[in-house]
Amino acid sequence: MPSVGRSYKTVRNERKYPYIVELPASVRAGLDVALSRQIIEFHKTRTLAPRHGRTIEKEGHFYYRWCFSDLPTAHAFIQEFGGSLIEPERG
Overall domain count for the chain: 1
Find the length of the chain.
91
Residue 13 included in any domain: yes
Residue 60 included in any domain: yes
Cβ contact 28:40 at 8 Å: no
CB within 8 Å of 13: residues ≥ 6 apart: 51, 52, 53, 67
Q: Which amino acid is at 41?
A: E
Residue 91 included in any domain: no
DSSP 17: S
- Averaged confidence pLDDT in the chain: 86
Q: Which amino acid is at 62?
A: F
| Structural domain containing residue 64 | 3-86
Which residues partner with 20 through β-bridges? Answer: 67, 86
**How does pLDDT run across 32-74, given as a tens digit for each residue?**
888 889 999 999 999 999 999 988 888 888 899 999 999 999 9
pTM for this predicted structure: 0.83
Cα–Cα distance for residue pair 26/32, rounded to 1 Å:
9
Q: Give residue 41's pLDDT.
A: 96
CB within 8 Å of 42: residues ≥ 6 apart: 76, 77, 80, 81
